[in-house]
Structures are given as structure tokens and as C-alpha cells.
Amino acid sequence: MKAVIIEDEMDLAEIISFNLEKEGWRTFIAPDGKSGFDLVTKELPDIVILDLMLPEMSGIEVCKTLKRKDITASIPIIMVTAKGEEIDRVVGFEVGADDYLVKPFSTRELLLRINAILRRSKLQGASEVISAGPIFIDTVRHLVKVDEEEIQLTFTEFKLLLTLVSRCGRVQSREQLLTEIWGYNSSADTRTVDTHLTRLRNKLGSAKDMIQTVRGYGYKLELP
């Protein structure tokens, strides 16, 4: 397993690297956004740990560009930053980050977040296809089509859609989705779910209204 750490605070980068390597990871460190972007496209890691405020190229730009490239679009990205305001979290998710940690954070929490993401990315066996109305999902190829047209989703968006489609007609609470997709549960973080669902709807085109909000509780997917 490979991880790219894009962080200009070298002490923090080395601490993260040390703890990941204790768990058997190979790690690569980049001190700025541009070299980090190049490193990700070269190594194609299993996870990217990305600081928001970086020299040369901001974390927002790195994330946005990686998610637009076919070769790197499905690589999970955990964004870390000293900023904790809601607007920064929303911006991070809007450009494709799969999770978000505010400094200071414990390496144990980071490892839990990484493991939660990767548990859900290990799809084995033959190609499994699931569909609902105009939505077609191939779970192994990480392929999603709406009305026969392929759409590009981040890892987290893909898992959210797969969860809702596989439980078509059943209401899923925000807390349940937060626990199952992100691997942790805190009522303070339920806006994370709302932000991702908004982005997912915007990408689904004609199928966006299939995802319905259940006011005060959560979401469900209904056939048209």
C-alpha cells in the first residue's frame, strides 16, 4: 500500500509517514502542491493526505486537478488543514476531497479514517452490476452511467450512490451514512453528508431527483 503525503510542515509530514510505515505502508512526501501533484500521478498511491495551504499550488487546486484526471480520479484524498471554519470544509468537499481533518489531529484518528476509506474500496471477485432506473453501477470497474452516459464520481460519491441504490426505497439517516461511508459517527459532522449528497445530485443529471431528502432525518433513493 502506498501513501503520498503533501504537506509543507515537514515535522508533521514525517510523523504521519513514520506512523503509516509502522502499519506497513510505503510513503512519499512532497513539500509543495506542484511536486505533490506530480508525485501522485507518478506513483498512483492508494491514499493521498493533502494539506490545504501549500506553496506553489494550493491543496484545493491539487485536489481539483487530481479529481479531473481519469488516472487519479478514484484515488481517495484526505484533506488536512489548520483551518476549521465550515466554509473551508465545504470548499474541500466541493472539489472532491473524501474526508477532512482539522489540525491538530491524532495519528490514530488519521489511521482510523484511512482504514475506513480503504475498507470500502476493496472490491473483489467478478464484476458486480447494480442498477436503479437510469442509473447503472459496475462496482469493480468503479463505473457509473446515467442514461447510458458515463459520469465521473469521487470515491466517496461512488460509495454514497452505491449505498442508496442498493437500499432503494429505504431511508438512510445522516448518522448512519456518516458511520458507514466515513467510518465515524458525530452529529456535528452530519453536514459532511449533506455537502456530498448535493454534489452527487448535481452530477446525476436527469436522475438527480431520485435522491430524496427526508426532512430532519436523512435521504433515500426512489425509482422514477
**Looking at the predicted structure, is the pLDDT value of residue 126 above 70?**
no
For the record, the C-alpha cell of 105 comes out as 489531529
Q: Look at residue 128 in the predicted model and tell me its pLDDT.
A: 74
Q: What percent of the chain has pLDDT over 70?
A: 90
Quick one: pLDDT at residue 87?
61
pLDDT tens-digit series, residues 170-180: 999 998 898 88
The overall average pLDDT reported for the chain is 87
Q: Is pLDDT above 60 for 181?
A: yes
User: What is the distance between the alpha carbons of residues 110 and 80, in angstroms, rounded to a whole number?
Assistant: 10
Inter-residue contact 14 to 27 (CB < 8 Å): no
What pLDDT score does 123 carry?
A: 46
* Mean pLDDT calculated for residue range 97-115: 88
Q: How confident is the model at residue 186 (pLDDT cuts 50, 70, 90)?
A: low
pLDDT digits (tens, 9 = 90+) for 36-77: 999 999 999 999 999 988 999 999 999 999 988 878 888 899
- Peptide bond between residue 31 and the one before it cis (omega within 30 degrees of 0): no
